[in-house]
């Protein structure tokens, strides 16, 4: 279930570390990497998002914004983003409605998953991790983004 490559990405509005963000606000302007992650301040999620922070300029050079999404409160997202010095928003999907729409809601919460949405709002890349302690390398995601330009 969930969204597949080639389909229109479901729009959403979520609160988070930089206020309310709506996916469609980027349409026609930027590619979007949706990075679903299980939880704030957990070891693998901290490492994963720290890699995004470290490689932020490379994502920007691909005309891409990153939206980190997990359950938990907007306040927790703000504290986590501040601890990471994240230049991109972390968003609260507290009822897991967005994760469910994308097929990344699991039995224990939000699964680690990646979706690249192009400037027209079409999903061009999808990967849902089978186990939460695995993550995609930024090089793989940047490579997928390079194919869009």
Token pair listed for 124: 């061009």
| Catalytic-role residue among 34, 45, 81, 113 | 45
C-alpha distance from residue 8 to each of 87, 101, 135, 142 (Å)? 26, 12, 24, 21
Q: Exposed (0-12), middle (13-18) or buried (19+): which is 31, by Cβ within 10 Å? A: buried
Nearest to 127 by CA among 34, 63, 20, 30: 34
Are 39 and 45 within 8 A, CB to CB?
Answer: yes
Would residue 45 show up in a list of annotated catalytic residues for this protein? yes
Active site residues: 45
């Amino acid at each position: 279930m969930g969204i597949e490559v080639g389909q229109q990405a479901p729009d959403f509005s979520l609160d988070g570390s930089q206020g309310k963000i709506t996916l469609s606000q980027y349409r026609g302007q930027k590619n979007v990497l949706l990075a679903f992650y299980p939880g704030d301040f957990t070891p693998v999620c901290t490492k994963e998002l720290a890699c995004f922070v470290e490689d932020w300029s490379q994502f920007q050079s691909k005309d891409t914004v990153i939206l980190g999404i997990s359950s938990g409160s907007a306040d927790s997202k703000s504290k986590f983003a501040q601890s990471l010095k994240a230049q991109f928003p972390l968003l609260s999907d507290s009822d897991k409605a967005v994760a469910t729409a994308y097929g990344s809601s699991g039995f224990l919460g939000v699964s680690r998953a990646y979706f690249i949405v192009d400037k027209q709002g079409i999903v061009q890349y999808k990967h849902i991790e089978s186990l939460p302690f695995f993550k995609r390398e930024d090089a793989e995601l940047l490579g997928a983004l390079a194919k869009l330009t």
